[in-house]
Amino acid sequence: MGYVFISYSSMNRESADKIKNIFSRNGIDSWIAPDDIPAGSEYAGVINKAVKHCACFVLLLTKDSMRSQWVAKEVERAINYKKPVIPVQLEDVSLTDQFELYISTNQILVPSSLDDATPEMQSLIAIVKRY
């Protein structure tokens, strides 16, 4: 298994860190900006390579992430590179037209909480481990 790319809005950093920690505790390597961007690097190039080489792509779906031009670009790259996109809905949202196009055929996971023990998070862990 390779690593999972975690795409999120910086407004949802706390949730992204919780997901990253859950993955880590379950033996799953992950890539997350800006932590995994080397100092002095060009963001766009590093992010593009990270998406290109990830095993799968986890999208933290929130109102903020759907407003983020960076998240939209990352999702587009994941689709372009034919990466499995796993949307994790963190709040009650209606998909924007753009995200409806991107993920309308994907099963959206809606966890009751960001805790390893919930059935939804166990499902996410199992899905990610397949890649």
Q: What are the pLDDT digits (tens) for 65-76?
A: 999 999 999 999
DSSP 3: P
Please choose, from the candidates 71, 43, 73, 76, the residue with its C-alpha nearest in 3D space to the C-alpha of residue 59: 71
Residue 1 has pLDDT above 80, yes or no: no
> What pLDDT score was predicted for residue 104?
85
- C-alpha triplet 84, 60, 23: angle, nearest 5°: 75
Residue 24 has pLDDT above 80, yes or no: yes
Cα-based distances in Å from 40 to 6, 9, 25, 43, 70: 21, 22, 30, 9, 19
